[in-house]
Structure 1
C-alpha cells in the first residue's frame, strides 16, 4: 500500500553547509564595529565613563557616571567590560575599544546558547539555522556591537532557554546552567529578567514533556545557584551605599516595571507593536510561516518552549511602562527557534520572497555604500561629496588600504555566497545574514570616521577643554546624562548640576541650548560657545561670573 508522508516529515536533503563557514560568517558579523570608533550616545559614552570610574579605583559595587551613582542596570556588564578594557590597554586599545570587546564576547555567548538550544530542541543542523536567523535580525545589529548591558541579558536568556530544553535529558547539568543564566540576567539587567526566566521554567510544568520527577531537581539546583549570586550585589550595595541601594530598590530593581516603591506599568500603547515589524525582521516572518505550516503540531515540545518564552516576554513588554528597544531583544531567540523548525520545508514562495528581497536590498545598499566611499575619497559624485562634508565639516577622509582590501574581500565573499545553491529556506536566511553582514562591514570600514566626526563628543570636548579653568568649580544646566558622561570621560570634569544645587557658588557655568541662541544670564559673561560638528540641535555656552 502506498502511503503519503507530509513534507515536513520527509527526510531532509543532505547538509551542504560547512561548520567553518558558519563560524566565519559569525566572526564577520561580530567583529566589525567593535574597534576603531568613538563611543556613541547615549549608552556607549555612559558605559565608557562607568568603566573608567571602575578602573580609576572606584567602588565596584557602586557604578558611577560623572560622579553620580548609575543604577539603571545591575553592574555585571560593567565589570566584564572593565576587565576587557584593562586587558585591552596592553594591546594599545583605547578604554572604550577594549570595553567593547566585552560586547563581542557576550554576543558570541548569546549566539552559542541559542544555537545549542535549537540543536537540543529541534535536532541536528537546526542550531546553525537559529544562529543564521538571529544574526539576520535587523534590530540586533546595533545592540550587538554597542556598549550595553542588554547583550549580557540576551546571553543569559539564550542559555536559560537552552538549559530548559536540556532538562528532560540531563536534569542536573541543566539545573546548573539555568541557575547561572538566571544569575546573569539578574546581575546584568534587573530582577525582572531573572524572574521572567523563573516563570518560564515553572510555566513549562503545564506541558507533559517537562512534568517528570527530576525536573524538580533542575529547579532546586537552579534556585540554589541563582539566589545567592543575584542577592550578592544588592546586599553589598546596601552596606557600601545605603542611599544608592534604596534608590535602586525603589526605582530600578524591577527593570521594565520600575521598582518596588514605584511599580510602573502600561507604557504608551503601540510602541513595541510598531517596533517589532522591522526590529525582529525576518525572524517574525519565518516564525509565523512555520506556525502556519505546522499548526497541527504546536503541541510538540519544540514549539511549546519557544512559544511560551516568546508569549511571556511579549506580555511583559506590552504591560510594562518602558518603551525601550533593548528589552525587545528577548523576543529574538524564541522567534529564531520557531523559525528554525520550518526553515528546511519553508514554502518556496515565502523562501523566494525573503531570498530575493534580501539579495536586492543588501545588494543595492552595498552598492550605495561603495558610492559613498567614492564620494569621500574620489570626490565623485560631486553633489554627494559636498553633502558628506556639509554634514560633518570636521571630517577628513584618509584612504585606508587594509579597510579597502577587507571591503573588497567581503563583497566578493557575499557574491559567492548568494550564488551558491542550497535548500531554498536555508538559502534565504544565509543570503540575508550574509547581506546584513556585508553592509555592516562596509559601513564600519568606510564610514566610522565620518560618524565619529558627526556624532562623537570628542571634538566638542577638545574645543571646550581650552576654555575651562584648571582648578575651579563648574556648574551645569540642562545637560543630559550622556553629555555629563562625555565631559567626565574625555576631560575628567564633574559639573555641579544647578537642577540639584541651584545655590551653587561656582564661578563657571556650562549650559546647553537648542537651535535658538541663548543669551547670558544676568551677572554672567559669555566666554565660549560651540557644538558638535554638524549638530544643529545641541549648542553649548560657557559663562563666567566676574569677580567683584
Structure 2
C-alpha cells in the first residue's frame, strides 16, 4: 500500500492540554444551567424525565409524559435523567439536573471520539513516510495529534452547538454511536475487549433509540466485518451480538413481566410507529436535508470527503471503512425519513469527525488558509453582531437595532448580569489572542487548520449563552404562559383535557403550572386548546357548556394561541307539578 503522508515530527507537536480541556469544558458547560427547558424537544424530553422522577415503576418501564405514552425512543435517557433529578435534587433545580446529564453524555462522546481516533492513528498502515535519516513523527505522537484534530472538528461542527446542549435522547444516542465506533476500533488490536464495547453500544442503543436506528448500526457492523480485513469478525460477532441482545432485551422483558397488557401495546407502537416514519415519499425530508445537512455538519463533511480523495489506496483500511460504514447507514435513514427534522443529523458527527481528521495531514496550504479565513471572518462577524445587539438591548443604541429587537421579541425586558458580561469579555479576548497567534506565527502543526473553527464555535455559543441567554430563554420558554393559565384554573378542578397541545407544552405546563392532564377520555371539567387561528368554541352537551376563562400566547410567538375553557353545569329545569283530579 502506498503511503500518502509526508510529515516531520514538528508537525505533530501536541496541542497544549490545558487549551484542549479549556475549550471542551467551556463549550460543554455553557448553556446547560440557569435556563428553562426550551421548546420543543428539550422541554418534551425533560417532561418525561420529570414524570419518571416523580412516578412509580409503571412510569419507569413504560415512558410517558404526564400520562401521554412516548414511544419515539427507548427509556435509557429518561432513566438517567430521572436519576440525575433525584440525586441532584437537593442542589439543583430539576431542569438543571437533567441538563447535567447532557454535559456528562457530551463528555463521554468527546472521550470516545478522541480515543478511537488515537488508536486508528497509531496503526501501521496510516503512518507517515519514513525518511532515510529519521525525523518522522512517532506513532504515538501522530495518533495523539490526529485525535486532537478529530475532537476539534467535532467541537467545530455547527449543529452540535444547540443539539449538544439539550436534554434529549439524541445526546445519549450520540454517545452510543461514538462508543460503537470506539468498540470497532478497539477490536482491531484487542478483539475480545472491542467486541464487549461494541455489544454494549448495540444494547444501549436499543434502550435509548428505536428499531430503525438499531437496524442501521447492525448493518454498519456487518459492513465492517465484510470490508475490514484486519478485524477478527468471528470474535466480534460471537460476543457483540449476544451481549447486545441481552442488554437490549432487558427492558422489554422487564416491562412485559410487570405489565403484560400495557407493555404489549407500548412495544407494538414502539416498533410500528418508528418504522412508519420511514415509509412513503421522502421528498420533503430530502429537500430539508439538502438545505440543512451541509451547514449542520460543517466543517466535518468537506474534510471527510477530502480524506476519501487523499487516501485512494487505503479506502478499505479501518480509518476510513469503520467511520464511513456508520456515516452511510445513518445517511440512508436521513434520506428515507418522512419528518423534516435534524435529530438524526447529530449521529453523523462522531464518524465524520474521526474520518475527517485523517484528511488533515494531506490538506493543501490553500485549503488550510481558506478554512482559517472563513472561521476568522464568519465568527468575528457573528461575535460582533451578538455584542452589538446586546449593547442595543441595554442602552437603546443603535436605535434601529433596539426597535427591531423590541418588535421581534415583544415584552422582553433586558437583564444585566455582571458575571455573564465578564465571561463574555474573557472569551472574546481569548478569541482575539488566538486569531492573532494563528495569523502571525503560521504554525506547521496538523491541528492548525481546525483550531480556529472549534474556538470560533465555542466563542459563538458562549456569547449566546451569556449575553443573549435572557433573550433566548424568554423566547423559548413556556414559563409565563403556564403561570397565567395556572392562575385561571379552578381550585377544585378534576383534570385538564388537552386539545392539540404538543409534548413541549404539556411538559412545561405540568412542570411550571403543576397542571393535571388526562388522555383517556376522562370526564374532565377543564379544557385547554392550542389554536393557530380562530376556532369555534368546543361543542356543548345538553347537561353542560364550556366557558372561556382565559386566552393568550407567548409574547415571542405569534403562531400559537391557547384557550382555557371551564365546564359549567346547566341548571336543571324544575319538574312541572302533575295536576291530579280530587277524588269524588
**What is the TM-score with the length of structure 2 in the denominator?**
0.86
Q: Hey, what does 1:528 align to over in structure 2?
A: 550
Q: Any idea what the Cα deviations from partners look like across 1:349-391, whole Å, max 9, x if unmatched?
A: 2121111111110101001111111112222212322332333
Are the aligned partners of 1:379 and 1:385 in contact in 2 as well (CA < 8 Å)?
Answer: yes
For residues 429 and 252 of structure 1, what CA distance do their matches in structure 2 show?
40
Is residue 24 of structure 2 the alignment partner of residue 26 of structure 1?
yes
Which residue pairs with 2:214 in the alignment?
194
Q: Equivalents in 2 of 1:168, 1:10: separation in Å?
A: 25
Would you say how many aligned residue pairs link Structure 1 and Structure 2? 534
- Report if aligned partners of 1:257, 1:265 keep a CA contact under 8 Å in 2: no
CA contact (8 A) 1:526 1:541 kept: yes
Q: TM-score, normalised by structure 1?
A: 0.91
Counting only pairs closer than 5 Å after superposition, residues 368-447 of structure 1 correspond to structure 2 as 368-420=385-437, 421-423=442-444, 426-447=447-468
Q: Distance in 1 between matches of 2:314 and 2:246?
A: 40
Alpha-carbon distance between aligned partners in 1 of 2:87 and 2:41, rounded to the nearest angstrom: 22
Tell me if 1:456 matches 2:477. Answer: yes
Query: Corresponding residue for 2:85?
Result: 85
What's 1:52 paired with?
50
Match of 1:101 in 2: 100
CA contact (8 A) 1:351 1:424 kept: no
Contact 1:187–1:230, Cα closer than 8 Å, also in 2: yes
1:282 Cα deviation from its structure 2 partner: 0.9
Question: SS of 2:89's equivalent?
Answer: helix
Question: Do the aligned partners of 1:73 and 1:255 also contact (CA within 8 Å) in 2?
Answer: no
Q: CA deviation at 1:516?
A: 3.8
2:323 pairs with one of 306, 314, 320: 306
Does the C-alpha gap of structure 1 residues 345 and 221 become closer, same or farther in structure 2, counting only changes over 3 Å?
same
Q: Is the 8 A contact 1:204 1:210 kept in 2?
A: no
Equivalent residue, structure 1, for 2:254: 236
**Superposition deviation, residue 458 in structure 1:** 0.3
| Deviations 1:455-479 (CA, angstroms, capped at 9, x unpaired) | 2110001111111012223323222
| Structure 1 position 246, deviation (Å) | 3.2
Which residue in 1 is equivalent to 2:115? 116
Deviates more, 1:65-74 or 1:96-105: 65-74
Partners of 2:199 and 2:359 lie apart in 1 by 30
Please name the residue that 2:136 is paired with.
none
Aligned to 1:138, what secondary structure does the other structure show? coil
**1:8: Cα distance to partner?**
1.7
Relative to 1, partners in 2 of residues 1:337 and 1:263: Cα closer, same or farther, differing over 3 Å?
Answer: closer
Give, in whole Å, the separation in 2 of the partners of 1:142 and 1:58.
Answer: 32
String of CA shifts for 1:402-425, please: whole Å, max 9, x gaps.
111111111111112222243376
Mapped contact 2:149–2:446 kept (Cα < 8 A): no
After TM superposition, give the deviation of residue 494 of structure 1 in Å. Answer: 2.8
Q: Pick which of 373-382 and 23-32 moved more.
A: 373-382
Hey, what's the Cα distance between the residues in 1 that align with 2:151 and 2:388?
A: 31
Describe the SS at the equivalent of 1:510: strand
What's the CA shift for 1:515? 4.2
The 3 A distance-change label for structure 1 pair 160 and 496 is: closer
Cα distance, 1:9 vs. partner?
Answer: 3.1
Structure 1 residues 127 and 470, CA, compared in 2 at 3 Å: closer, same or farther? same
How far apart, CA to CA, are the structure 2 residues paired with 1:398 and 1:319?
44
1:130: how far off?
0.8
1:141 is displaced (CA, Å) by: 1.4
Which segment drifts farther, 282-291 or 185-194? 185-194
- The DSSP-based 3-state class of the residue aligned with 2:189 is coil
Match of 1:126 in 2: 146
155, 161, 174: which one aligns with 1:154: 174
Q: 3-state SS of the aligned residue for 2:565?
A: strand
Partner of 2:378: 361
- Quote how far apart the aligned CAs of 1:296 are: 3.7
Instruction: For residue 198 of structure 1, give the secondary structure of its aligned residue in structure 2.
Output: helix
SS in 1 for 2:55: coil
Kindly state the Cα deviation for residue 73 of structure 1 after the two structures are TM-superposed: 0.8
Shift of 1:509: 2.2
> Of 344, 351, 362, which residue of structure 1 is paired with 2:361?
344
Say whether the 8 Å CA contact 1:348–1:425 is kept in structure 2: no
Matches within 5 A, 1:160-171: 160-171=180-191
- Per-residue Cα deviation, 1:35-68 (whole angstroms, up to 9, x for no partner): 0111111212222221221221332112220212
**Can you list the C-alpha shifts for 1:80-108, whole angstroms capped at 9, x where unaligned?**
111222233222x2101110111111111
* Residues 1:221 and 2:239 are matched in the alignment: yes
Which residue matches 2:128?
none
Give yes or no for contact 1:190–1:254 (8 Å, CA) kept in 2. Answer: no
Asked if residue 471 in structure 1 is aligned to residue 492 in structure 2, the reply is yes
Q: Tell me how far apart the structure 2 counterparts of residues 247 and 409 of structure 1 sit (CA, whole Å).
A: 54
Contact 2:528 2:564 in 1 (8 A): yes
How far is 1:176 from its partner?
1.6
Structure 1 match to 2:8: 11
Q: How far apart in 2 are the matches of 1:244 and 1:431?
A: 52
Q: Distance in 2 between matches of 1:370 and 1:298?
A: 45
Q: Secondary structure at the match of 1:490?
A: helix
What is the Cα deviation at residue 438 of structure 1? 0.5
Return the match for 2:264 from 235, 239, 246.
246
CA contact (8 A) 1:40 1:455 kept: yes
Contact 1:133 1:282 in 2 (8 A): yes
Describe how 1:283-302 pairs up with structure 2 within 5 A.
283-302=300-319
Contact (CA 8 Å) 1:38, 1:456: kept in 2 or not?
Answer: yes
Corresponding residue SS for 2:202: helix
Please tell me whether the aligned partners of residues 355 and 432 of structure 1 are also in contact (alpha carbons under 8 angstroms).
yes
Higher mean Cα deviation, 348-357 or 80-89? 80-89
Instruction: Check conservation: 1:163, 1:178, Cα contact below 8 A.
Output: yes
Q: Please give the alpha-carbon distance, in whole angstroms, between the structure 2 residues aligned to 1:254 and 1:181.
A: 23
Shift of 1:133: 0.7
RMSD (CA atoms): 2.3
Q: Mind listing any 5+ residue stretches in structure 1 that lack a counterpart?
A: none
Match of 1:66 in 2: 66
